[in-house]
Amino acid sequence: MSDSIYADLKQLGHATTLPQSPDEAELERVANPQAGVAYNVRFTVPEFTSLCPMTGQPDFAHLVIDYVPGDWLVESKSLKLYLGSFRNHGAFHEDCTVSIGRRIAGFLDARWLRIGGYWYPRGGIPIDVFWQTGVMPADVWIPDQGVPPYRGRG
């Protein structure tokens, strides 16, 4: 891997450990070989976990991240490690969802990004959180996130 264009990546192809917090997690990116083409990239994270900042109990969500890349793509192993670092992180649903969207969008300088955080009930109430960088691009097919309103998710 050292002779490839990906030689500067520290995580892909290397043994890694889960970062202890989102602040310690390092996102990595690779050049977009289709930078001149408008298209959507979707990451679905059906088992996202964080901690309630008040009780320390685990919270669970189904995240859907859509982005239209510019010059950069997020390297998926680094994204997985970043998202996994929330397992020991105490924050409200809204903070987790928006923080993730803002960090990825800013890191990539994406043309557009949207994140849907579909949180499982806490205290009997599901909390769904949505954030995006701006108006959805008209020249890209971006399907519905496909997560129905809470009725018992699965």
Give the model confidence (pLDDT) of 66-78 as tens digits: 999 999 999 999 9
Catalytic residue, from 3, 8, 23, 52: name it.
52
Domain annotation covers residue 137: no
C-alpha of 74 from chain center: 10
pTM of the model: 0.90
Distance CA 115, CA 31 (A): 22
Q: Is 96 a catalytic residue?
A: no
Domain annotation covers residue 127: yes
Domain annotation covers residue 147: no
Give residue 32's pLDDT: 96
Catalytic residue, from 23, 59, 128, 144: name it.
59
Give the model confidence (pLDDT) of 28-65 as tens digits: 999 999 999 999 999 999 999 999 999 999 999 999 99
Q: Which range is most confident: 17-31, 77-91, 113-127? A: 77-91
Q: Is 23 a catalytic residue?
A: no
- Report which residue type is found at 128: D
Domain annotation covers residue 151: no
Q: Name the residue range of residue 121's domain.
A: 29-132
Edge to edge, the sheet with strand 41-51 lists 41-51, 58-68, 112-119, 128-132
Of 118, 117, 111, 109, residue with least CA distance to 136 = 111
Domain annotation covers residue 148: no
Q: What is the CATH number of the domain that holds 120?
A: 3.30.1130.10
How many separate domains does the chain show? 1
Domain annotation covers residue 65: yes
